[in-house]
A and B are shown apart, each in its own frame.
Chain A
């Protein structure tokens, strides 16, 4: 017994064991859990709330008519055929058929039918695109084999939508959190307190500013700033003393606020009536304000529901709002005296992430309202008709397409236009990049920030300490979006809305006193703490420490939501409790009395699979902390650094990184920008994309022929499946100078390696053709089969099969026809109206790519609109050539500068010839020590017959690896004795050589090579077209022009800018010098005596 207890308390043996929690976490969560959770929340909770909030539809024509929604359900994904019959559909089918993976939204309702009230269940109101792997998705809960049978890759994370056959990701949007007071100097340098209120009905922004020592309220609806004291008075707080008490009766506040009080007095505004009149007179009257109200009442309405909309005002009792405004004033006054009270808007605790579920909820709410308006309109229209033939049944008039099309078009274009919430965003969704497995994963963790990209501000772009552990410090793009586009770290969780009611109740039970029952002096008493819940002032508490402790204890016991955060801010005498959605948080091991709660026993149980991740949270061993609560925690990195005051311990240090950075071996040894570069480059690496890659019909697919599992792996790589879907090959690399074709990061490749398959890849392009239907006369495009004699070898028709489509395996050369289509002739189209004879003209689809390819597969299918879709995948296999881009996993990219026969390559004592030679000049300035360590680790791993471990902060020890090299008879330094392949003599230095994982990047010369002599010209300007795809010209730009001017090469200039561009001949009269026609001067009105000279000018 005793032993068992001791066992329980046994410390964790080593860091590696502790890190085992990470796989357990990722197993239950996956990397895209935040998307799926948020979408599930929408389907299960939010959609119901929305329908409930808009559940009644009436008609102006008939007061008896009423429609009430009683319930709403989202069904299983299906596809409807022409006859509205739904059949179940798999995601893969949707991709292939170009249809939307969506499910019906059905409602239960009661409505008036004639004189009766009828109940009906399961009435379709629209279709909702379904997120893959959400609770309604067909793939949910399926095992690998079942997924494979559905044509799905088991490693695919899901979390995206399929709309019209394309995979769309709703990017996570980062925003300033709603309903929170932010005290900051505004653009004019005036201290201001800003609150962005957001409720289901309204969104508004309220500012209180300090201008010339006086305080004003600033709001969009009012024309000029209103002294804050008048606002107080308008809200019924007429006594200056009461106002002062709410703000703080200490002399410093009184002194600072006196001038504001004086201003109101000097304006002679002393009563609520006068104040409301004052406010009302300054309001901007808009059309949607109720006409029935006078200005005073409008002002009251405005103060009650528009200003600080999130603070509830019940029956015009403004007390809570007064307290809130007073707190804002107080915060400004404090901030003026002490800069530590100024808030930082870049601080991540002030940010909220909007996920797919929330964004779609917004859209749905708007569409549902539009839907109801339309239902109402139709009902009124029909009901107002005096004589109706049939009985009026509203269900038959449901405008189903409003919701279906609205959702579909928003997701497919990415334009989130919601007028009701003044929201107009573009680029919310993006096409899921399937360039490599990693790029798809990376896209799912991306966080987009709402800042303008063009603004040159460093604040929002720079790395915030508060994002530690939440966002990846490395993974951000370079250039304009730098720091604005971020990526979630491995263990980050984004919360969904939790009900605030029970939490508020609990806080009251725990001794919080409601603000309405305490005086201003008590609120501002130093001994009391303010208790905020989701930004709302709930009340005061006299013992903040006890409250915090109790609330946290309840959370660990599972009595309140695990994601409720309780955070005490010391200097501010405030406790912030939050249970709103969109907060980022991460799990940490709880430490109590200097020892972690997670012990070896627990980890053993985890190993034995008797304990799963959920249990750790439920048993109060691990808890989630959000950014704010992290500020109250002292987090130890490992066992050794646990002190007495420590409250938490990291699960694994590597979890501060995101997926992309987690794939880099030894990133903790690299200069930080190199990791950032690699994060961007990993997404361009050509490799394996998914287990179903050969079944996919993507527009462009890059596949590596022989992808390899890296010799040096990282824990993250294995967890996300990067070892099963690798993005590169292990190359034997020598770091040396060779031939001079390796300057500026160029690499030298071994020809024999290329012959044997190194860097070989497949490029598969999709060409879609559809057979269109015209009108209703069954007139449509058709395939024109050709007899064998009509498609002789060597002709353009050679590739075609008997059915008029090129079959798989057929070679297509530029100009080949692969779908022999015919379309009705124009005459036939007009004739079709009368239904007479049809004629067709040829409209074959030709293969236009510059190099030959092979037909990989042909998909003949249909979608809702078109009867026939013919998708031809054309494949091309490429071996690396000079100019192709390669990179290691350390942000070290380079193009191939030379391909050298094996016999010319240097060789070592063991007969090893490098596949690739890299110039050592790539190292000193880049400081990618991680790459050097990858070399040694990989080399040691080869001799030890294992895979190396390059996990951040937990990789193989370099010294041990070097010793393993010595054991295998190699140098400790990793540098080997090499002979020149050309002279056969030893090289003058030892060469650092070993296996290293190389990525082939998608940039290949074959796709970029371009030259033109003569070619197409643009219609408008008659200048050569631009770009390779249009066989465009190469621009002689301004700077090149300047060179030619400077050199004085005028004839060359003339040739480039005029003759080779848009030369045009005009005729100039030699007499008057005006432009005329050939042989005729309009000015001289003569064609005889004047000579027209032709001159070449720009068109």
Chain B
């Protein structure tokens, strides 16, 4: 034990402290070491500096994309602390703007769904349009081409001639189901030219808005405006955004023979393999779901140690479809940068000029690092 020095010539922590600093232990009954240590002087008695240095961060920070689909991205974010990762998650959930239907004007609604509920349902439909092209609508402002999108929904249900009575409603009637695809975009001003080949529309065509029967109709006009999810979840750009810390499975004792087979069969996520020698090895710890099944019984907790790496995040962003998930991450960072800028600005204002100047320079320097980091990837 005792603190050593790593290759950089920096002093490192003793093994048990290093483990505490970098791992969250996943016990069978309770997790331990769940909170990280962020105080710069936490290890000063050991002669170890725990402060965050930008250069260090730059060196450690890694991003690796694991999965990428149209609406979903999973990537590894390595080398940052939980609060930072969480900030990004929080911004994704609540502060990245999108467009959503906000105002509904009814001309007719004889469907079974009440107007308020129909409006609520319409609001939740994700719209495939880039919010960056729009301004926020100021209170009391008139809808215009820069702050609003207009859609029209005009559906009437009628009978289809000569269909047997026992047929499905969708065959018996025209427009028995009202889908999101029936929302028709009505350009305001020069929007038609601006959007050109990519007209705004709902992301999904098959969202059921209402059901109609012959004689019923819905005729309404909606205005979609830019907003953030803090106001209402309908503006959320993500279905969800979350991360988990990298799972780690360590075998403390060698597990052989029958025990090894038991262990392999026990694990629902197939983390373990048995070597030719008959020894169990954790070959796929990344697959571990931390179900703790392997340490639930008897003395298995003494043989297997489950933990999570504190600065290794497996980040998932599930977009609603309006903004590509990778793009979302960048926008979230941009929001964060803007927020920081805002803080700096406010601080500058409130401090007296001379001291403010001094402070601003250091802050700006710090900020420029952040900006570089975020935009550089």
Give A contacts to B, CB under 8 Å.
694, 705, 751-752, 755-757, 760, 762, 809, 854, 856, 875, 877, 901-903, 907, 909-911, 913, 965-973, 977, 979, 981-990
Contact in complex: A989, B93 (CB < 8 Å): no
Residues in A with CB closer than 8 Å to B93 are 752, 902-903
| Neighbour of A877 across the interface among B36, B86, B116, B268, CB < 8 A | B116
Give the distance to chain B from A183, nearest Cβ to Cβ, in Å: 62
Chain B window 28-53, contacts with chain A (Cβ cutoff 8 Å), 1 for yes, 0 for no: 01110011100000000000000000
B68 interfacial contact with A, CB 8 Å = no
B291 interfacial contact with A, CB 8 Å = yes
Residues in B with CB closer than 8 Å to A755 are 232-234
Closest to B230 in A: A901
Closest to B85 in A: A984
Residues in A with CB closer than 8 Å to B240 are 907, 911, 913
Residues in B with CB closer than 8 Å to A984 are 82-87, 89
Closest to B313 in A: A984
B109 interfacial contact with A, CB 8 Å = yes
| Neighbour of B120 across the interface among A757, A973, A983, CB < 8 A | A757
User: What would be 17 A-B contacts, judged by CB atoms less than 8 Å apart?
Assistant: A694-B112, A752-B93, A752-B229, A756-B233, A757-B124, A760-B117, A907-B242, A969-B268, A969-B269, A970-B291, A977-B290, A979-B244, A981-B86, A985-B82, A986-B24, A986-B245, A988-B30
- Contacts between the two chains (Cβ within 8 Å), count: 120
Closest to A984 in B: B86
| Neighbour of B34 across the interface among A694, A910, A911, A987, CB < 8 A | A987
Question: Is chain B's binding surface mostly helix, strand, loop or mixed?
Answer: mixed
Given that A854-B115, A983-B86, A984-B86 are known contacts, is A971 also in contact with B293, CB under 8 Å in the complex? yes
Alpha-carbon separation in the docked complex, A984 to B308 (Å):
14
Give the distance to chain B from A687, nearest Cβ to Cβ, in Å: 15
Contact in complex: A989, B234 (CB < 8 Å): no
Alpha-carbon separation in the docked complex, A75 to B66 (Å):
77
| Neighbour of A985 across the interface among B35, B233, B234, B292, CB < 8 A | B35
Given that A911-B242, A985-B35, A986-B308 are known contacts, is A969 also in contact with B291, CB under 8 Å in the complex? yes
| Residue of B34, B234, B269, B316 ringed by the most chain A CB atoms within 10 A | B34
Residues in A with CB closer than 8 Å to B366 are none
10 A-B pairs with least C-beta separation? A984-B86, A755-B233, A911-B242, A969-B289, A752-B233, A986-B34, A903-B90, A984-B82, A877-B116, A903-B93
Give the distance to chain A from B310, nearest Cβ to Cβ, in Å: 8
Contact in complex: A902, B31 (CB < 8 Å): no
Give the distance to chain B from A514, nearest Cβ to Cβ, in Å: 65
B195 interfacial contact with A, CB 8 Å = no
| Neighbour of A988 across the interface among B34, B112, B244, CB < 8 A | B34
Closest to B24 in A: A986
Contact in complex: B233, A875 (CB < 8 Å): no
Contact in complex: A875, B114 (CB < 8 Å): yes
Contact in complex: A856, B114 (CB < 8 Å): yes
Alpha-carbon separation in the docked complex, A150 to B154 (Å):
31
Give the distance to chain B from A704, nearest Cβ to Cβ, in Å: 11
Give the distance to chain A from B200, nearest Cβ to Cβ, in Å: 22
Contact in complex: B83, A983 (CB < 8 Å): yes
Closest to B297 in A: A972
Residues in A with CB closer than 8 Å to B29 are 990
Closest to A989 in B: B30
Residues in B with CB closer than 8 Å to A989 are 30-31
**Chain B interface residue bracket vs A:** 35 or more
Contact in complex: A705, B117 (CB < 8 Å): yes
Chain B window 97-131, contacts with chain A (Cβ cutoff 8 Å), 1 for yes, 0 for no: 00000000010010010111100100010000000
Contact in complex: A981, B289 (CB < 8 Å): no
Given that A985-B35, A986-B31 are known contacts, is A971 also in contact with B114, CB under 8 Å in the complex? no
Contact in complex: A809, B233 (CB < 8 Å): no
| Neighbour of A971 across the interface among B85, B90, B269, B292, CB < 8 A | B292
Q: Which of B256-272 contact A (CB under 8 A)?
A: 268-269
| Neighbour of A968 across the interface among B117, B242, B268, CB < 8 A | B268
Contact in complex: B85, A751 (CB < 8 Å): no
Residues in A with CB closer than 8 Å to B89 are 903, 984
Residues in B with CB closer than 8 Å to A901 are 94, 230
B26 interfacial contact with A, CB 8 Å = yes
Give the distance to chain B from A755, nearest Cβ to Cβ, in Å: 4
Contact in complex: A909, B289 (CB < 8 Å): yes
Contact in complex: B114, A902 (CB < 8 Å): no
Residues in B with CB closer than 8 Å to A969 are 268-269, 289, 291
Closest to B106 in A: A809
Residues in A with CB closer than 8 Å to B116 are 854, 877
Alpha-carbon separation in the docked complex, A762 to B117 (Å):
9
Other 6 A-B pairs with CB < 8 A, given A875-B114, A983-B86: A757-B120, A903-B90, A909-B244, A968-B268, A973-B292, A973-B296
| Residue of B29, B109, B117, B293 ringed by the most chain A CB atoms within 10 A | B293
B236 interfacial contact with A, CB 8 Å = yes
| Residue of A757, A854, A903, A972 ringed by the most chain B CB atoms within 10 A | A903
Residues in B with CB closer than 8 Å to A756 are 124, 233
Residues in B with CB closer than 8 Å to A854 are 114-116
Contact in complex: A877, B114 (CB < 8 Å): yes
Give the distance to chain B from A1094, nearest Cβ to Cβ, in Å: 53
Give the distance to chain A from B62, nearest Cβ to Cβ, in Å: 19
Alpha-carbon separation in the docked complex, A986 to B36 (Å):
9
Contact in complex: B82, A983 (CB < 8 Å): yes
Chain B window 224-257, contacts with chain A (Cβ cutoff 8 Å), 1 for yes, 0 for no: 0000011011101000111111000000000000
Contact in complex: A972, B94 (CB < 8 Å): no
Chain B window 162-183, contacts with chain A (Cβ cutoff 8 Å), 1 for yes, 0 for no: 0000000000000000000000
Residues in B with CB closer than 8 Å to A911 are 240-242, 316, 318
Contact in complex: A971, B291 (CB < 8 Å): yes
| Neighbour of B31 across the interface among A752, A913, A970, A988, CB < 8 A | A988
Alpha-carbon separation in the docked complex, A970 to B296 (Å):
12
Closest to B33 in A: A986
| Residue of B31, B83, B291 ringed by the most chain A CB atoms within 10 A | B291
Q: Which of B137-196 contact A (CB under 8 A)?
A: none
Closest to B83 in A: A984
Contact in complex: B117, A877 (CB < 8 Å): yes
Given that A911-B242, A984-B83 are known contacts, is A966 also in contact with B34, CB under 8 Å in the complex? no
Alpha-carbon separation in the docked complex, A55 to B296 (Å):
83
Closest to B31 in A: A986
Give the distance to chain A from B114, nearest Cβ to Cβ, in Å: 6
Closest to B244 in A: A909
| Residue of A965, A967, A973 ringed by the most chain B CB atoms within 10 A | A973
Contact in complex: A972, B291 (CB < 8 Å): yes
Give the distance to chain A from B86, nearest Cβ to Cβ, in Å: 2
Residues in B with CB closer than 8 Å to A990 are 29-31
Alpha-carbon separation in the docked complex, A968 to B293 (Å):
11
Contact in complex: B90, A985 (CB < 8 Å): no
Residues in B with CB closer than 8 Å to A875 are 114
Given that A856-B114, A986-B34 are known contacts, is A902 also in contact with B296, CB under 8 Å in the complex? no
Alpha-carbon separation in the docked complex, A982 to B34 (Å):
14
Residues in B with CB closer than 8 Å to A694 are 112
Closest to A969 in B: B289
Give the distance to chain A from B329, nearest Cβ to Cβ, in Å: 15
Alpha-carbon separation in the docked complex, A644 to B230 (Å):
71
| Residue of B89, B124, B292 ringed by the most chain A CB atoms within 10 A | B292
Give the distance to chain A from B105, nearest Cβ to Cβ, in Å: 12
Alpha-carbon separation in the docked complex, A10 to B82 (Å):
65
Alpha-carbon separation in the docked complex, A965 to B114 (Å):
39
Residues in B with CB closer than 8 Å to A986 are 24, 31, 34-35, 245, 308
Alpha-carbon separation in the docked complex, A484 to B287 (Å):
59
Give the distance to chain A from B240, nearest Cβ to Cβ, in Å: 5
Closest to A762 in B: B114
Chain B window 54-94, contacts with chain A (Cβ cutoff 8 Å), 1 for yes, 0 for no: 00000000000000000000000000001111110110011
Contact in complex: B233, A751 (CB < 8 Å): yes
Alpha-carbon separation in the docked complex, A760 to B234 (Å):
15
Residues in A with CB closer than 8 Å to B308 are 986
Give the distance to chain B from A350, nearest Cβ to Cβ, in Å: 52
